[in-house]
Amino acid sequence: MILYPTIELLKGRCVSLQRGRIEDPAIWHVDPLAKAKEFAELGAAWMHLTDFDAMFGSLANRDLIVRIIAEAGIPVQLAGGFRSRDRIEEWLRLGAGRIVVGTLAANNPHLVRELAERHPGRIVLTVDVLKDHVMVEGWRVQSAYTARDFIESYGDTPFAAIVVTDIGADAAETEAALGVISGLARVARVPVIASGVVRTVQDIARLRLLGTVHGALVGRALYNRTIDLAEALAEARAGQGEVAAFI
């Protein structure tokens, strides 16, 4: 299983959103570039970065993200505000390893299929689930799709992966609820990355033992120190030989 240590950026600072509210972030007093380099030094194969400002059309974090991509030492899976072909292709040219799309995938599936076929293994679909429905616009709007129908509608589209977030588990900070993610992983035809359910190393072990989930994002737990990254990476790789990143 591939573990993706995560940075979420708001106005150049590392943050986590409490109960999904961008107006009330938890701010972590760490340097984002230094933290990205630390992920690489501890042995992470990938990292995930979400640009919250970009969701609202701001370029405030652009230069910082370009530096992280260039200097982190591991590939970056980049999310946040990808609503057009031009922006996606610009960031691929700037070196992002993968681009994550959600709202665009709900609003313009034809374009997203085309981009995934043009850039196989570099486009990631995100599915944010609340009460069985896909949420868009940063979890603020309920789409017409159920999560299962949304994933099935993309069939064999060559996504690098699908990130599935159980919003109920993430927002409530309850014990990791794996049922939604594991059920959708059985439907998906590409690797599934779990999001919003990792609080402890034991949660990583539970995900790994499911056998259907290929990766997990871990962010807030790293900053509030309920997870040690080196220990988490070792647990994610337990029982494996040589680790290879999937595409």
8 is catalytic: yes
Contact assessment for residue 223 and residue 39, using Cβ atoms and an 8 Å cutoff: no
- Contacts of residue 81, Cβ cutoff 8 Å, sequence gap at least 6: 51, 53, 54, 55, 56, 57, 87
Strands 47-51, 13-18: pairing is: unpaired
Catalytic residue among 8, 53, 166, 235: 8
- Contacts of residue 21, Cβ cutoff 8 Å, sequence gap at least 6: none
Tokens of 95: 């070196």
Strands 133-136, 141-146: pairing is: antiparallel
- Contacts of residue 117, Cβ cutoff 8 Å, sequence gap at least 6: 157, 158
Residue by residue, DSSP assigns 59-106 as: -TTHHHHHHHHHHSSS-EEEES---SHHHHHHHHHTT-SEEEESHHHH
Contact assessment for residue 198 and residue 218, using Cβ atoms and an 8 Å cutoff: yes
The residue behind tokens 């599934």 is: 192
Report the distance separating Cα 121 and Cα 125, nearest Å.
Answer: 11
Catalytic residue among 51, 53, 128, 203: 128
> At 146, is the secondary structure helix, strand, or coil?
strand
Catalytic residue list: 8, 128
